Amino acid sequence: MKKSIVKYLLVILFANLLIKSESFAQDNIFKVYLVNGNVQLQGKTDSNPKPLLVGKEIYPGSTIITSENSYLCLQNQNGYIMEISKAGKFKIDDLSKKAKKVNYNVAKKYFEFLLESIKETSGKRTSFSLSTERSFFDTQRIATFLPKNCNVMGKSIKFSWFPEKNAEEYTFILKNNFSEEITAIKTKDTTFNLDLNTLKIQKPGFYHWCVTTNTGGKIRMSDEPYIFIIDNNSENMINADIESIKSSVDDDNSIIGGLLIAQYFERKNLMQEAYNHYFRLLKYTKNLPAINNAYMNFLVKLSGKQ
């Protein structure tokens, strides 16, 4: 009887060791998702380092070698995302110790979406300007920019449009879903911040907006894009997802984290929030085709030309 119990306990102990060993191995295996610049890998048995390519799996005992102005994004099999953007030598065993457990469900889903959108990232980064963005939109009327035929959230909404030649003043108009005018505000700017608390705005609800101007006695008008203001419960769920994505990266200023969040908002059709994250990424990243291509795809989608 005692022998049977001992044998049973040994089997359980051995099974637990296997599970822990497998878990440890998963923590120590990283997959390469983004590479930019000169990044090399020297495996445990390699005599010389070799160029590191997207899709490569990196095993314990390996060393990553990065150069100036390079960028590398890795992910272990438990979902933790790690980035290297400085020159140096990095042992994969040391990187594994920094990895932490994360709520991977949301991050994994949008990481896969992200990979689909950047499978072909080549060429140099384009310099974006107002004229670049303007070229995506209708030139026959005042061109509205954001928010445009999308969902919105928050306590205030920032509306924006492109400047009209010789226009000195614009009238911003907000209508409900029955085309009834809710407010009309004159402004000399090409943006207008609407405080939802000052108006009787229903959540959830559809609204339309447009801009008019008088140039030389001629009235010019924009298109009338819709917005859908989401309810508070939906907004809370979205904020929870964002926190989950943030927990999967190792830095508050993470490039891939910012791109994941931008893509998340884009998938949720929250285009103003997506634009804010793309704009921030474009300001502080250099020579990263993934960022450039993602933003170009965003502009195409926003303009309705896809």
The more confident residue out of 277 and 253 is: 277
Q: Where are the domains of the chain?
A: 2-101, 103-306
Residues in the chain: 306
By the 10 Å C-beta count (0-12 exposed, 13-18 middle, 19+ buried), 146 is classed as buried
Mean pLDDT of the 188-198 span: 90
pLDDT of residue 205: 92
pTM passes above 0.85: no
CA angle 235-236-240, nearest 5°?
115
169 Cβ neighbours under 8 A, 6+ residues apart? 186, 187, 188, 213, 214
The CATH superfamily assigned to 103-306 is: Immunoglobulins (2.60.40.10)
Q: How far apart are CA 294 and CA 281, in angstroms?
A: 11
Per residue in 217-252, pLDDT tens?
Answer: 788 999 999 999 999 999 999 999 888 888 777 666
Per residue in 132-160, pLDDT tens?
Answer: 555 555 567 888 999 999 999 988 899 99
pLDDT of residue 113: 60
Structure tokens at 79: 């979902």
* E strands present in 188-269: 191-195, 205-215, 218-221, 226-229
